[in-house]
Amino acid sequence: MQTAAPQKIYLKDYTPPAYLVDSVELTFKLAPTTTRVLSRIAFRPNPDAQSRDFFLHGEQLKLISASIDGVSITPEITATGLTHTVPNAPFVFEAEVEISPETNTALEGLYMSNGMYCTQCEAEGFRKITYYPDRPDVMSVFTVRIESDLPVLLSNGNPAAKGDGWAEWHDPWPKPAYLFALVGGDLVNHPDRFTTMSGKDVELNIWVRPGDDEQKCAFGMAALKKSMKWDEDVYGREYDLDIFNIVAVDDFNMGAMENKGLNIFNSSAVLASPETSTDANFERIEAIIAHEYFHNWTGNRITCRDWFQLCLKEGLTVFRDQQFTGDMRSHAVKRIDDAVVLRAHQFREDNGPLAHPVRPESFVEINNFYTVTVYEKGAEIIGMLKRLVGDDGYKKALDLYFDRHDGDAATIEDWLQVFEDATGRDLSQFAKWYSQAGTPRVSITDSYADGTYSLTLSQHTPATPDQDEKTPMVIPVAVGLLNDNGDEIVPTRILELTEATQTFTFDGLASKPVPSILRGFSAPVILEHDQTNAERAFLLAHDTDPFNRWDAGRTLAQDVLIQMVREDATPDTAYLDGLLALLRDDSLDPAFRALALSLPSQDDTAQALVDAGETPDPTAIYRAHEALTLHIAQHLQDTLPRIYADMMVTGPYTPDAVSAGKRSLGNRMLTLMSKLDGGKQASQQYATADNMTQQLAALASLLKIGKGADELAAFEQRWHHDRLVMDKWFGLQVSCAAPEDAAKVAAKLTEHPAFTMKNPNRFRAVFGALKGNTAGFHDPSGASYDLLADWLIKLDALNPQTTARMSTSFDTWKRYDADRQTKMKAALQRIAETPNLSRDTTEMVTRILG
Ligand code: BES
Ligand code: ZN
């Protein structure tokens, strides 16, 4: 057990830094277990400070020497930092510390991955590199010298000088320490150039290990150039250094990191080729490259005052990367994809023990707050703001934001103030989206009389941990009205719901219309609307808003599934006929049709049952999903081969959205056909596919019907040398396993020679897939709970951040029956009681247990 309760940090306790930093000079003498870091930091008292205490963060550092203004000192050192008396005037602090990158398995600070040195400093990793005020409101200009025999030595900013065994970098833009980065390795680059809108020539590089990775940079490079252009065109922001470097590393806790001028990427988030990457991989890579690039303005030029403001950079940057993907691909499909993620993960978080506001009020470990709530709900808040103030208002506000706050460490208050100043709108009630946790429920009643249609909307947000009392939010509800023929008689308008209950009227209507509510998913809320299946089938067939058209099918599917779980019912034919009509409608985008044909996840169905006041049984939900998939396959049987054939793109693979949409619908057909043909078509697709998208989908279709053993072996044989492809091989077996086998399959894979806990991608491949196999994870034996707990306990000693993140697999424990609850709780308690459990994981399991 933890000896002392971990310290909680509160937003309300914020105080300005006691000292500011004018400049930092760092020298790194790289060595695997004995890297020396020399620092020379010019401090000056902060005129706005409330104290003169001098404290520098520092963890796991061996201090060799320190001085102030050239006079050697012996500072007082604790587990978290260093203190000493200092002059009441500007002074220079110097130190030399020793660190051990090779033994750094937490992948935070300076560490080694495949013989390459790299860093990850966000959020609080710089303090593992040297003593420093490691807080985002201390911004400074960094000059870095790296000494090493490795051929490639990189840091932030522009290259300053280099020679044999050393290189120097200078970053002219003041930045917080979390944006510091360093890379040293035997790397090759994929170079390119970009000319900015003001005519500045920028050198671009993607750095990878020599080998076949070199062939996999072209797509990422193209995505980078598109991102640079888009930010100029849409936000008027151009790049501000002579060089932009991206480095791919295999061992990385997250997807990627926006270090100034030197982005570091998980290799899975940048390397791509048709043979090794799926369409989904290509799309994710394009989005992540854009996201990290966009941080150059939203995050780096304007950063966060403190970590409670994390959504200021992440919510906004996610919103920007979503806009970008919509512009590059399809707005309708992107909106649906984002809503699926939000509902599956953010609503789940909001409904459970980990619920927290988009701007949390306290934390123990900030790494635990890089959540779907901060990110995706944070992005939704910006979407709502834009809907409320309009496109022009949004543009004015953003221009003012960049003007007013360039170079600042800003807050959510600053952000909202620019919207108020640019548009004259009072946002005091809207601001509650940042402080009130939980997903609002909006319920609908309507009536029609004498040509007037009345829509009454009521809002209610359920209690969340630490927040019992909720008050009404500002909810933009986009509504359109259709007549019985499916014609749009009232085009989309935004109703602003600000009170607990409000009625909106529409006049001059000849008959009672069919409402289409929350078009485009205009707010991150749950609609409670008692519609009949016939009304939903009507919207599925006719809604002019693509999001709501899709959503009508989704709600219908969910209702059908719930009926099937409750009473073994056969599915409503209105739904099946609706799907058939949609599938046959060749005027519809294949990607959209594929989405309309997909079912809600089993976890979504479990949540829907909880919302209906029932205790979900994952095994019964699994059976209902299987049964419905079979019913759909049978009902569409005659059409499947025709659409499948139409969707087989000929010619060389390209990852563009149109081709990917076709493959997506084709693969959906394949999954359904496999339920009927014993996997004949899937075996053939596996054998002939020239790209990973179709090969992997074929293999998945086979595994899901209990076949594919030979293909699985052949796949391993062919791809054993490629880590990223092998991650798919590991993951697929677990996600496609029958529920009763999932734990066994996962356990067996942990004995495979290529399984390693030290690589987060590999660990997540197995255990992320186990969580994703909902019925398998919740198998009544409890075997998956035990297996995951065993491995999280082992992983915590090496990598607390990834362990804490993965412990959220247990966050739904209160949903389930007494037996499952007991088993999940026991697993959580076993983790909680592990000696020397990290602060990260301790905080998470404590919160999950409640
Ligand atoms: N700043 C984050 C990376 C990060 C996250 C650093 C957590 C430290 C702790 C980066 O900008 C980011 O958000 N990356 C995402 C991908 C993005 C497309 C949402 C990631 O890594 O998953
Ligand atoms: Zn980010």
Within 139-255, strands assigned E span 140-147, 152-155, 158-163, 166-175, 182-185, 188-195, 201-208, 243-249
Nearest CA to ligand 1 atom 13: 314
Whether the predicted pLDDT of 1 surpasses 60:
no
The finding on whether 660 has its CB within 6 A of some atom of ligand 1 is no
Cα-Cα-Cα-Cα dihedral sign, residues 644, 646, 651, 653: negative
Find all residues with CB under 8 Å of 188, minimum gap 6, and list them.
Answer: 207, 208, 209, 210, 214
Whether the predicted pLDDT of 591 surpasses 50:
yes
Nearest CA to ligand 1 atom 20: 255
Whether the predicted pLDDT of 2 surpasses 70:
no
Residues 179, 176: Cα–Cα separation, whole Å: 6
Q: Which tens digits make up the pLDDT trace of 214-231? A: 899 999 999 999 999 999
- Cβ(743)–Cβ(784) below 8 Å: yes
Half-sphere exposure (Cβ direction) of 469: Cα atoms closer than 13 Å: 0
412-423 and 310-328 helices, crossing angle to 10°: 60
Q: What is the 3-state secondary structure (H, E, C) of 402-441?
A: HHHHCCCEECHHHHHHHHHHHHCCCCCCCCHHHHCCCCCE
Q: Which residue has the tokens 């937490």?
A: 106
The finding on whether 295 has its CB within 6 A of some atom of ligand 1 is yes
Annotation says 614 is catalytic: no
**3-state SS, residue 359:** coil
8-state DSSP, 364 = S
Q: Which tens digits make up the pLDDT trace of 120-147? A: 999 999 999 999 999 999 999 999 999 9
Percentage helix, strand, coil, to 5, in the chain?
Answer: 45, 20, 35
Find all residues with CB under 8 Å of 288, minimum gap 6, and list them.
Answer: 255, 256, 265, 269, 270, 321
Q: Exactly one of 94, 286, 292, 843 is catalytic; name it.
A: 292
* Alpha helix stretches (DSSP H) within 297-368: 310-328, 331-341, 347-350
pLDDT at residue 4, as a whole number: 57
Whether the predicted pLDDT of 283 surpasses 70:
yes
Closest ligand 1 atom to the C-alpha of 314?
Answer: 13
**Does 123 sit behind a cis peptide bond, omega within 30 degrees of 0 on the bond before it?**
yes
Number of other residues whose CB lies within 10 A of the CB of residue 714: 14
Q: Which tens digits make up the pLDDT trace of 393-439? A: 999 999 999 999 999 999 999 999 999 999 999 999 999 999 999 99
Nearest CA to ligand 1 atom 1: 257
pTM for the structure as a whole: 0.98
Cα-Cα-Cα-Cα dihedral sign, residues 718, 722, 728, 732: positive
Find all residues with CB under 8 Å of 733, minimum gap 6, and list them.
Answer: 703, 712, 745, 749, 769
Closest ligand 1 atom to the C-alpha of 318?
Answer: 19
The finding on whether 255 has its CB within 6 A of some atom of ligand 1 is yes
The finding on whether 258 has its CB within 6 A of some atom of ligand 1 is yes
- Cβ(257)–Cβ(181) below 8 Å: yes
Nearest CA to ligand 1 atom 18: 288
pLDDT band at 745 (very low <50, low <70, confident <90, very high): very high
Q: Which tens digits make up the pLDDT trace of 169-183? A: 999 999 999 999 999
Whether the predicted pLDDT of 507 surpasses 70:
yes
Burial level of 462, CB count in 10 A (0-12/13-18/19+)? middle
8-state DSSP, 790 = H
Nearest CA to ligand 1 atom 2: 257
Whether the predicted pLDDT of 3 surpasses 60:
no
| pLDDT, the chain, mean | 97
Whether the predicted pLDDT of 714 surpasses 70:
yes
Kindly give the distance from the C-alpha atom of residue 46 to the centroid of ligand 1, in angstroms, as a whole number. 31
Half-sphere exposure (Cβ direction) of 351: Cα atoms closer than 13 Å: 22
Q: Cα dist. 299→41, 136, 288, 380 in Å?
A: 23, 10, 15, 18
The finding on whether 314 has its CB within 6 A of some atom of ligand 1 is yes
- Which residue from 535, 541, 528 is spatially nearest to 513, judged by alpha carbons? 535
Q: What percent of the chain has pLDDT over 90?
A: 98
The finding on whether 287 has its CB within 6 A of some atom of ligand 1 is yes
Residue among 111, 120, 253, 254 to mutate when testing ligand 1 (max atoms within 8 A of CB): 254
Residue among 127, 370, 380, 764 to mutate when testing ligand 1 (max atoms within 8 A of CB): 370
pLDDT band at 5 (very low <50, low <70, confident <90, very high): low
The mean pLDDT of 523-532, rounded to a whole number, is 96
Whether the predicted pLDDT of 86 surpasses 80:
yes
Kindly give the distance from the C-alpha atom of residue 318 to the centroid of ligand 2, in angstroms, as a whole number. 7
The finding on whether 291 has its CB within 6 A of some atom of ligand 1 is yes
The finding on whether 843 has its CB within 6 A of some atom of ligand 1 is no
